[in-house]
Amino acid sequence: MLFLIPVINRAGPEKLYPVIEEKSDIYTILKLSQYGLSDEVFRLALAGRQKLETAGQLKNPAILTIVDFSQSSKQKRMYVIDILNQRLLFNTLVAHGRNTGEEFAQHFSNVSGTLKSSLGFFVTKNHVMGATVGLSLIIQGVEKGFNDNAISRQIIMHGAGYATEDFIRKTGRLGRSYGCPSLPPDLIKPVIDIIENGSCLFIYYPDPDYLKKSTLLS
């Protein structure tokens, strides 16, 4: 049996893709290559998620969020995937840090005050209401030396007016954050509702040092 399910937040008419009720290749079923996500990045995300689940760190292991900072900021480079039910729930824009790069991300940090994004695996926590950015999601970095200062740096997922198609039309690229993965304002609530409280978030860039030293990818 198969069902037709919508993919959310793509330009143009809503498309329907089949979800097959059997163990199969999720990457192929969801046609993730058509949305710009490489098989390599997807496999890395799955590997780290599996280690976190095995270690008992995920309360919501069915949901996997991937941010692919190797892509242009003009691309919808964040993917929220329901692994259990084989569904692509969201594919949306996401901003990187001000000092991480302009259109393309290049530089990353785990240090406060750098205004740079951090790489690696995070576990989502609870939502909060920020004084300046409104509804936000706390994300806990779980990779020492790469993102474990995320909470002390106040790196959160929140909505921002600079993370929109309109901003791209005006400036030629997405705006930039203080290091937070910022989303279009109209999507922050529905995304948080799905991914909060113990799901896996993977922020990727082909940084040789990270790929070599990450204990979740080794």
Domains of the chain: 4-8+25-213 (2.40.440.10)
Percent of the chain topping pLDDT 70: 89
**C-alpha to C-alpha distance for 143 and 20, rounded to whole angstroms:** 34
pLDDT digits (tens, 9 = 90+) for 53-103: 999 999 999 999 999 999 999 999 999 999 999 999 999 999 999 999 999
Q: What is Dmax (Cα atoms) for the chain?
A: 52
**C-alpha to C-alpha distance for 100 and 114, rounded to whole angstroms:** 9
Q: Give the three-class secondary structure for 210.
A: helix
Quick one: 183 exposed, middle or buried, by C-beta within 10 A (0-12, 13-18, 19+)? buried
Q: Residue 124: name the closest of 37, 199, 39 by CA.
A: 199
pLDDT digits (tens, 9 = 90+) for 95-104: 999 999 999 9
In the chain, the N- to C-terminal Cα span, in Å, equals 37
φ, ψ for residue 127, nearest 5 deg: -85, 155
